[in-house]
Structure 1
C-alpha cells in the first residue's frame, strides 16, 4: 500500500490534532517531518510522535525533507507564502482556513495555485466532512426538503474561554468576530444553498464583556445574507455560551427542514438526577469535530494517491473570506453591504 509522506507546519492545539491523526489514524499517511518556530512544539513532535526530521524554517522543510505533501497549520498570515513555497518545491498542499487574511492575498494565492494545475491544494473546511453535515447535504441533493432557501447557523464559543481571549490581547488581532468565528458557517451556507452571497447586514453587541466593544469588536454578532438566487443565510456567532461549545445549523426548504445539533450533545447519555434531565455538551471544536478532522485529511491523502482534485478548494476560501469581510463592514458601518466577488 502506497503511503504519502507528510510534513506538518505548526503544532499548536489544532496542529497537534492533525499531527496525531496523520501519525496514528490514517494508514495511508506517514508523518515524517515537522516544522515550528516554537521549541516546545518540536520537542512534542520528537518525543510524542517520533518525528526525527525537525525544522524551524518552512522553506527548508519543503525543500529538504523527504516528503510528498505538507499540512499547513500555522498562523493565518503565513498561509499565502507557505502555499506558494510548497508548490514551488513540488509538494501537495493541505492548508487550514483561512486561505489568507485579506481579499487581495486570497486572489493572489488563487493565481499562484493556478500556475500548478497538476498539484493539489485543499483547504481545511472540516465541517463539510462532519457525518451529520454530510448526511444533510446528501438529503438535500436527494430532494428531501425541496428547494433550500434559508440556512440558520449558530456558533458560540464557551464562556469558560472568554476571559483568556481578553487577557491574551487576542481580540484586537482577531480581525473581528465575523472573520474569526463565522467563516465555517459561511462556507456551509454556500455549500447547502449552492449559491454565492449578494449582500449582507450585520449587528453586534457586548452586554457581558465590555472589553470587546472597547477593542472595536463585539461578543455576539448577527448577520443576514441575501444570496444571488434569492435564498437567505442567517448567522449568530458569539463567545459566551455558558453550557459549552454550541454549534447548531438548520436548513429550511420548500418541503421541509433539517436541523443539525439543536443540542450540542457530548454523547448519547442523558443523566436523570435532582437537577432534572441533563445532557452534557461538548466543550470545544476539537472534541465536536474530531471525526471531521480525520475524514478531511483522508480525502486529502486519497487525492494525492489517486491524483484527483479535492472537494474544497482555494476558491471556496476566497468566497468565504469575501462574505466575512462584507459582514464585518456591515457591522462597523451599520449599512447593507454588497459582497464583492
Structure 2
C-alpha cells in the first residue's frame, strides 16, 4: 500500500522558484511511489485574511501526514501545533524566509519572525533547500535537525552564448523585478562598465511592483544604456530557451536567497554565475564569483574582472561545462524528503 501524504501549498499567480520546487517535488515523490495529495491553499500568504486562516485550520483534518510549505505554515503556527497535538505528523518545507522579505513592512516581518519560530518548533520535521537555510533555522529558531534537500535540476542543452558567435557577451538577469531580487544594483553596476562591450537582458515578471519596474526602466534610460539593456518581462518555453542559448554569464543580485534554482539551471547549460555572498546562492553556484548584496561598486569590480580577462571567462566556462554533468536530479531531492518524512515514507521504492 502506498504511503499517503497531504501537501498543503500556495501557488503564486506568477512564476516562482518556490512553486517550481513544490511542483517538481510532488512529481518526483509520486515517481518514488508515494501517494501525494496536493491541497492548494489560496490567499494572500504569508499575510492571510481571516477566512483564509479558517480554511487552513479545517484543511489539516483531511490527512494523517502532511507536508506544508512554510509560506503558509510560518503564518499559522497554531494550526500546526493543533495538528501535531491531535496525532497528525507534519513536515514543514522551508524554501523562503518571509521575515526577510523587504516587500513586507517591518511590523509584519517582526510578527512573522515570531510565528515562524513557533511553527518550526511545532513541526515534527523540518526540510530546507540548502545548508545555508539549515544554518539559519538553527541560528534563528534553535532547531539543529533540519534536513537539507537541495533542488534538483533537469538536464539542458549547452548554451552557445553570444561571445562565441562573435557578438558582445550577454549578461542575463533572470527573476521577478522585486526589491528582494534587486535589479537596481545590477543596473548601477552596469552603468560603471560602459567602456566594455556587452549586452544585458532582464527576464522575469515586471508586474509585481509597478513602481520598481518603472524605476528600473528610468535608471536604464538615465544611464544611457537603453541601446544594450533590455527588460523583456516574463518568458517561458521556446522564448526562454532562446534567451538561455545566448547567455554568457548569469547575474544574480538577490538581497537574500535560500538557494537560487536559476543558478543551477544556468550551470546545467554551462553558464557560470555571479551571486550574492553570504546567502544560499553561493551553495548553488558551482563556478563564478560573489559580491556583497546591494554593493554596486563591488559587483562592478567583479564584472570588470570578467569582462577584461578572456582567460578568466574561458576558465569559468570550462569549469561550468564540467559541473553541468554532476548536478543533482529531482529524484535525488525526493529521496531525501521521503526519507525525512516521520511516517516512514523512506521505505517506499
Instruction: Name the TM-score, length of structure 2 as normaliser.
Output: 0.39
Instruction: Name the TM-score, length of structure 1 as normaliser.
Output: 0.39
Relative to its length, the structure with more strand (as a share) is: 1
